Amino acid sequence: LNVEVEDHPPYSPDLNAIEHVWIAFKKKLHQQYPKIVDTQGGAHAINLRKEFARVLPLVWETILPGFFERLGESITDSIAAIIAANGFYIKY
């Protein structure tokens, strides 16, 4: 077999849209439920898990569809920036 292998980064968070989603999600969680986020767990770990299970869907619903639309549209800019940077780190 004569197969040419291209060089590419093994991990490219610049092109991984879910990273941006988790950042936005965590930010909203911290803003809306700071007491949950600051809790250390310990003896209250079971109650904490139940509270997380209750609030996580509520936080998810506060991320507006426009966020996902903009994220999808931005991938073209990210790809162009990565090409211009010869595959190196970009600001996205």
Q: For the chain, how many residues are written?
A: 92
pLDDT digits (tens, 9 = 90+) for 49-84: 888 899 999 999 999 999 999 998 888 888 888 888
pLDDT at 78: 84
Q: Answer whether residue 11 shows pLDDT above 90.
A: no
Ramachandran assignment for 60, one of left (phi > 0), alpha (psi -120 to 50 degrees), beta (any other): alpha
- Calculate ∠ Cα 66-68-70, nearest 5°: 70
Mean confidence (pLDDT) of the chain: 82
pLDDT digits (tens, 9 = 90+) for 15-52: 788 888 999 999 999 999 888 766 665 656 667 888 88
